[in-house]
């Protein structure tokens, strides 16, 4: 897929010129370059690029060695999951694929894993019915993108704010021979380097629940896209766990819908599934929990939000 014709400056929204194998904005005098094979459209991403190459554990070699070298059966459930993630970030995709699926058991409740799988399938079914250019937002390790690539023959645009995960994703896509079907952009969802209504569908899986503020992102995706198909995980309005999020609109279904409608979207919630969930268990090696929330047991609502 050629994206050059739909790109624009993410800062001042004017057209870009091709220069020095990258893109140049005459108006704000910015150069957007290809770094390590990916187009970097971040407006302030130097701190994130500084982390690239330091490994998944950001230089904590002893812990990384324990995580990767301890026999799998001796690792706690969370350490198995973290090992799978570490293998992905190291580019050891064969080993990653051997343990990834199994490592979810013991960390998440059966209800959670079941609802997540069904929600992914529902979201993929909805996206398969769409025509035109599809952009997967906040692709991360590419859970949704992989399913879209394996169940369709189309090309995709992928956007994520993290250079580290974008680079590992590029390697993973090469490993699966999918790299020629995905154009990856490193960009902030609130400042997309894309022209007005240049995208037919923006899709995302649990992308919004990892962002900080709803309004700037909802406005920006409204400017860029005709439609939105988003797998979301919501909580009830009175949930104690909401004390640990910044913008409740990204975590409560009717607030999410209202916030979308405030900026011009018309939204519906589809295929809602409720699942009892527990805080993810603590890693014995790293001392952290894989997920920040829930902090106390609760019920998550898995929903696909469709907006036009």
Ligand X SMILES: C[S@@+](CC[C@H](N)C(=O)[O-])C[C@H]1O[C@@H](n2cnc3c(N)ncnc32)[C@H](O)[C@@H]1O
- Tell me the closest approach of the beta carbon of residue 179 to ligand X, in angstroms: 17
- Tell me the closest approach of the beta carbon of residue 157 to ligand X, in angstroms: 13
- Binders of ligand X among residues 87 to 106 (CB under 6 A) are none
CB closer to ligand X out of 173 and 211: 211
Binding mask 40-69 for ligand X (x = CB under 6 A): ------------------------------
DSSP H/E element including 271: strand 267-277
- Binders of ligand X among residues 134 to 173 (CB under 6 A) are 138-144, 159-162, 165
- Tell me the closest approach of the beta carbon of residue 70 to ligand X, in angstroms: 26
Residue 157: CB partners within 8 Å, gap ≥ 6? 1, 3, 133, 134, 135, 136, 182, 183, 184, 185, 199
207 contributes a contact to ligand X by CB under 6 A:
yes
Neighbour-count burial for 122-133, b at 16+ CB within 10 Å, e otherwise = bbbebbeebeeb
Cα four-point dihedral sign 108, 113, 119, 123: positive
304 contributes a contact to ligand X by CB under 6 A:
no
- Applying CB under 6 A, the span of 19-27, 55-63, 202-210, 258-266 interacting with ligand X comes to 202-210
Burial of 305 (0-12, 13-18, 19+ CB in 10 A): buried
Identify whether the C-beta of residue 225 lies closer than 8 Å to the C-beta of residue 203.
no
**Exactly one of 206, 233, 235, 260 binds ligand X (CB under 6 A); which one?**
206
State the CB neighbour count (10 A cutoff) for residue 136: 26
CB closer to ligand X out of 165 and 184: 165
Helix axes 110-128, 143-151, angle to 10 degrees: 50
Residue 92: CB partners within 8 Å, gap ≥ 6? none
CB closer to ligand X out of 73 and 209: 209
- Tell me the closest approach of the beta carbon of residue 106 to ligand X, in angstroms: 19
Please report, as ranges, the residues that interact with ligand X according to CB under 6 A: 138-144, 159-162, 165, 188-190, 204-207, 210-211
């Amino acid at each position: 897929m050629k994206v050059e014709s739909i790109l624009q400056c993410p800062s001042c929204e004017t057209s870009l010129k091709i220069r020095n194998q990258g893109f140049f904005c005459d108006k704000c005098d910015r150069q957007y370059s290809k770094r390590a094979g990916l187009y970097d459209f971040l407006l302030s991403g130097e701190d994130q690029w500084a982390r690239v190459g330091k490994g998944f554990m950001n230089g904590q070699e002893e812990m990384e060695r324990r995580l990767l070298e301890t026999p799998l059966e001796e690792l706690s459930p969370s350490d198995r999951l973290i090992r799978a993630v570490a293998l992905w970030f190291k580019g050891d995709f064969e080993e990653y694929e051997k343990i990834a699926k199994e490592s979810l058991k013991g960390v998440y409740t059966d209800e959670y894993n079941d609802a997540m799988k069904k929600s992914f399938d529902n979201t993929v079914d909805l996206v398969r019915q769409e025509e035109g250019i599809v952009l997967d937002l906040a692709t991360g390790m590419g859970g949704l993108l992989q399913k879209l690539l394996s169940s369709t023959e189309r090309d995709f645009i992928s956007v994520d704010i993290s250079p580290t995960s974008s680079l590992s994703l590029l390697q993973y896509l090469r490993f699966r021979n999918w790299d020629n079907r995905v154009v990856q952009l490193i960009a902030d969802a609130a400042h997309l380097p894309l022209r007005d209504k240049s995208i037919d569908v923006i899709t995302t899986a649990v992308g919004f629940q990892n962002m900080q503020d709803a309004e700037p992102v909802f406005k920006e995706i409204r400017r860029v896209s005709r439609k939105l198909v988003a797998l979301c995980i919501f909580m009830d309005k009175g949930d104690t766990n909401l004390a640990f999020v910044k913008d409740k609109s990204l975590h409560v279904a009717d607030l999410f819908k209202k916030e979308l409608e405030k900026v011009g979207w018309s939204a519906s919630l589809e295929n809602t599934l409720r699942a009892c969930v527990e805080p993810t268990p603590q890693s014995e090696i790293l001392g952290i929990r894989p997920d920040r929330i829930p902090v106390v047991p609760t019920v998550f609502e898995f929903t696909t939000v469709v907006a036009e």
